Amino acid sequence: MPDGLAEKVISLCVRRRLVYPTSEIYESVAGFFDYGPLGVELKRNLESSWWNYFVRQRDDVVGMDGALITPPSMWKASGHLDAFNDPLIACGKCKRRFRLDHLLEQELQLSVEGLTPDKMQELIKENKIRCPQCKGGLKETQPFNLMFRTQVGVLKDEPNEAVLRPETAQLIFADFKLVQQAARKRLPFGIAQIGKAFRNEIAPRNFVFRAREFNQMELEFFIHPERMDDCELPANWKSLAVTVLAAETQIHKGEGSLLSFNELWDRKMVKTKWHVYWMAACWNFLLELGLDPAHLRLRQHVSAELSHYSSETWDVEYRYPWGWKELLGVANRGDFDLKQHQEHSKKDLSFFVDETKQKVIPHVIEPSWGLERLFLTVLMDAYREKTENNETKVTLALSPRLAPVQVSVFPLMKKDGLAEKGQGVFRNLMPCFSAVYDDGGSVGRRYARADEVGTPYAVTIDYDTLTDDTVTLRDRDSTQQKRVSLAELPEKLNRLLLGSVRFSDL
């Protein structure tokens, strides 16, 4: 990992306007971000890769898109009104407020993952921790509810309280019956959703890693409660090697071990096979995006850190510059949510099983992803730098399917008809590829600009192009160049981007 990786990636994001704090011309509010031209392309590529993999390419998952502003009754039923809290500790003197676990991690330089708020409060006392800002005494910890509230309607005296959804999942549970009937699906099947979630984080930090407004990509997979082990892992997932840190190992302060998903199941380290299946699906997707498995691990939640709805959760963690942290989570939510919504709404949310003529409340395995967290992770994993002759060159080795721009078109110079020829080539590629035309500065500088944002291929138009209709095609990662005819360029680019041919074999 390059020194100062976090700062370097954040600085690149802000400088090239991939993503930057919102409302810069006013006063930005912490935890909210805007995405510029390149950022929005990368984000959309991640989103559509996820949707293709988890929804389109499967016949047992369908999609939906729920509202952002929701009635509080939904969140009373889900338990979020009462339990979606973070522990907040305030200074008695300067009144600053801190998230208890973050404060402890900062002051004691240790992970407090899995400790209860009471245990963390004891650590504050034992270590005589004071306010890091003014050294004042700290008060008792209070739970702080993370949901944003708003009001709906025009009646001033009778405002209708509403809640900005803190997760997309509940909309899926509330619509479970409607979607199942519309899609005519039988168990097991899943409903997926990509969309905004809002959390009034006490301490938004690490750029978009912990924001107050972000997108989730969630899948709720509904299974007959007696068939939680009725599935087969595809052969290529079974043998994938993963570093696993089980809850038991964490309690005994042990190290993670390298296992296959098959072993994870055979050793009964996970309670249900569908849970293993979805963890393997997520892991495989990360590999398809090009992430280095050495930077990833699976960590099971210890009982004290389980969310109120979960009986078992495993996170896929990434080795960030600020330590191993959750990239995504896969939870066994059992029948908690459907039962809660059934009870509170008084609507029947059971599923009728034809074969046994029984009504069952399905159990749920939930892979839950944060789009912006994945965005940042992919950038960190792809960041490379090389210093030659006192000049540092940065390359984002992004998978071509994710790169915001797939091909740049550079005329060697603007004169002698090269710019016009370049424009022609660019316009020809534009309908099929995400392409940009750039004629500013030396070709070297233009390559550097393109490498820095991960553009995998560049096409240069020179004087030979004017006579023989060939161009130079350059590969970002090897910096190799090949002469290619314009007639063959789209097909060759397509094969390269699909990964069906290597540049060296072109």
Q: Which residues bind ligand GAP (CB under 6 A)?
A: 167, 169, 199, 201, 210-211, 214, 216, 218, 326, 328-329, 368-370, 372-373
DSSP letters, 241-276, are EEEEE-HHHHHTT---EEEEHHHHHHTT-SS-HHHH
Taking the complex as a whole, the smallest distance from the CB of residue 46 to ligand GAP amounts, in Å, to 12
Distance (Å, rounded) from C-alpha 11 to C-alpha 484?
36
Cβ proximity to ligand GAP: between 30 and 498 the closer is: 30
Burial 400-427 (b: 16+ CB within 10 A, else e): bbbbbbbbbbbbbbeeeebbebbeebbe
Taking the complex as a whole, the smallest distance from the CB of residue 138 to ligand GAP amounts, in Å, to 24
Orientation of helix 5-15 relative to helix 371-382, angle to 10°: 110
HEC profile for 180-245? HHHHCCCCCEEEEEEEEEECCCCCCECHHHECCEEEEEEEEEEECHHHCCCCCCCHHHHCCEEEEE
The residue at minimum Cβ distance from ligand GAP is: 370
Taking the complex as a whole, the smallest distance from the CB of residue 373 to ligand GAP amounts, in Å, to 4
Q: In sequence order, what are the beta bridge partners of 383?
A: 396
| Strand residues in 264-322 grouped as ranges (E) | 296-300, 312-320
Cβ proximity to ligand GAP: between 101 and 201 the closer is: 201
Taking the complex as a whole, the smallest distance from the CB of residue 327 to ligand GAP amounts, in Å, to 6
Taking the complex as a whole, the smallest distance from the CB of residue 291 to ligand GAP amounts, in Å, to 14
Cβ proximity to ligand GAP: between 287 and 419 the closer is: 287
Cβ proximity to ligand GAP: between 216 and 408 the closer is: 216
Hey, how many other C-beta atoms are within 10 angstroms of the C-beta on 500?
A: 8
Taking the complex as a whole, the smallest distance from the CB of residue 481 to ligand GAP amounts, in Å, to 39
Taking the complex as a whole, the smallest distance from the CB of residue 300 to ligand GAP amounts, in Å, to 14
Residue 339 has phi, psi (to 5 degrees) of -65, -40
In the block, tokens 């030979």 appear at 464
In the block, tokens 């990662």 appear at 477
Tokens of 36: 């510029």
Residue of 321, 320, 326, 324 lying closest to 307 (CA atoms):
326
Cβ proximity to ligand GAP: between 376 and 435 the closer is: 376
Which strand (E) or helix (H) includes residue 63?
Answer: strand 61-63
Distance (Å, rounded) from C-alpha 447 to C-alpha 413?
14
> Count of H helices and E strands in the chain?
18, 26
Cβ proximity to ligand GAP: between 84 and 433 the closer is: 84
Q: Is the dihedral of CA 241, 57, 492, 489 positive or negative?
A: negative
Cβ proximity to ligand GAP: between 283 and 369 the closer is: 369
Cβ proximity to ligand GAP: between 217 and 471 the closer is: 217
Cβ proximity to ligand GAP: between 78 and 460 the closer is: 78
Cβ proximity to ligand GAP: between 169 and 240 the closer is: 169
In the block, tokens 């009471």 appear at 118
Taking the complex as a whole, the smallest distance from the CB of residue 166 to ligand GAP amounts, in Å, to 7
Taking the complex as a whole, the smallest distance from the CB of residue 167 to ligand GAP amounts, in Å, to 4
Tokens of 302: 């210890």
In the block, tokens 């490498």 appear at 451
Residue 411 near residue 421, CB atoms below 8 Å: yes
Taking the complex as a whole, the smallest distance from the CB of residue 27 to ligand GAP amounts, in Å, to 21
Taking the complex as a whole, the smallest distance from the CB of residue 168 to ligand GAP amounts, in Å, to 7
Distance (Å, rounded) from C-alpha 421 to C-alpha 462?
9
Cβ proximity to ligand GAP: between 113 and 167 the closer is: 167
* Collapsed DSSP state (helix, strand, coil) of residue 306: coil
